[in-house]
Amino acid sequence: MRTLKSLFRRMLPLLVSVALAGGWTAYPAGAAAEEPGGLDGSAARPKTELAAQARSAILMDAASGTVIYEKNSHEPLPPASITKIMTMLLVAEAIDDGRLKLTDKVRASEYAASMGGSQIFLEPGEEMTVEELLKSVAMASANDASVALAEKIAGSEEEFVRMMNEKAAELGLKDTKFVNSSGLPAEGHVTSARDIAVMSRELLKHEFITKYTGAYQDYLRQNTDKPFWLVNTNKLVRFYNGVDGLKTGYTSEAKFCLSATARRGDFRVIAVVMGEPDAKTRNAEIARMLDYAFAQFASLPIYKAGDVMGTLEISKGAKARVPLVARQTYSVLIRKNEAGDKIRHELKLKQPLVAPVKAGEEVGRLIVYRGENVIADFPVEAPETVGKAGWWTLLGRVAGKLFFAD
């Protein structure tokens, strides 16, 4: 027995290193072949101009990021209050990360209360909850509420703007530079229709946001002598079937802008216009873009949220393996007159994946093909947090492989 234990100790480092070796593992996903005449990252352009009056525009499938239509989509332009999409994104991330709660109180500074333009007329020292301020930004485009939230998260608007630009770089937004959190006119404060669509898509990953962006009206300061009626500046949430966001914008320089999103069934699209001559034209051209998307296209799910996609093998983890449960729905865009039975996909998981692994950490890619062409490439995230295993746990696993393998 002593000889056996001595041999086991000598072999243990080698056994562990063998157990932990690996590379990128590909898991082909069964029965799929090419998509007939499908999309390869951008759809065929419509025969008629969808946004003739807009200075720039884009129409995008929210799930895959496939561009259905675009016009001057990379032109840097002043975005006015569409800026607040990024402000809301950072707020949503802080809420989901646990750094901020909807019930947290925020005290308005003199600086926040001094903002002009669209506002809820915060008084210096007035307190509101994060939720009240967030709905004020989402519905009434309140500049004072935007700055109050920025100061709550970052300590100052200046630091918050640094975070906004940092997030823009992380998302690959090459046409964007933020100077403030509200979109009030400022030299050098620009973004593009495509960048707005990308940040809109990112914001929509925080599903609770449409509770506010999709509401038509609400109230602040109820049961006080200064009640305030919030009415959504995006009138399409009331008049267009499926619209539940996202953000309007207007200044004399930017003209009329809108990033709209609509969902019907499993299919969600994002439509952005910038530089429209008036609100009526802005809404009409957004509606035309949405009509085109819903008439011509559909969303084909690859995996739905909650589906088991495979198994994660985790080296040195408290759990050696966990089911890879989809944290979101993965789908691709197809034309309505085409079948989706020839699309194939491949799951590529990172190996070795070494503990600790955090929930939401990228652990691989889901790649969708039409023939040999990649039509979508999604990051796949860990479904749960897995900590490091203790020494005895690792020892037991190696011993099991050594003495109990078939």
Which residues are catalytic, by number?
A: 81, 84, 141
Count Cβ atoms below 10 Å from residue 274 Cβ, excluding itself: 31
Q: DSSP states of 85-137 as a string? A: HHHHHHHHHHHHTTS--TT-EEEPPHHHHT--SS---PPTT-EEEHHHHHHHH
Orientation angle between helical segments 130-140 and 84-96, nearest 10 degrees: 150
* Region of residue 166 (left: phi > 0; alpha: psi -120 to 50; beta: else): alpha
Task: Look up residue 31 and give its DSSP letter.
Answer: S
Is the preceding omega at residue 352 within 30 degrees of 0, hence cis? yes
Check if the beta carbon of residue 322 is closer than 8 Å to that of residue 360: no
Backbone angles phi, psi at 308, to 5 degrees: -85, 120
Instruction: Give the chain's length.
Output: 406
Q: Which helix (H) or strand (E) holds 4?
A: helix 2-20
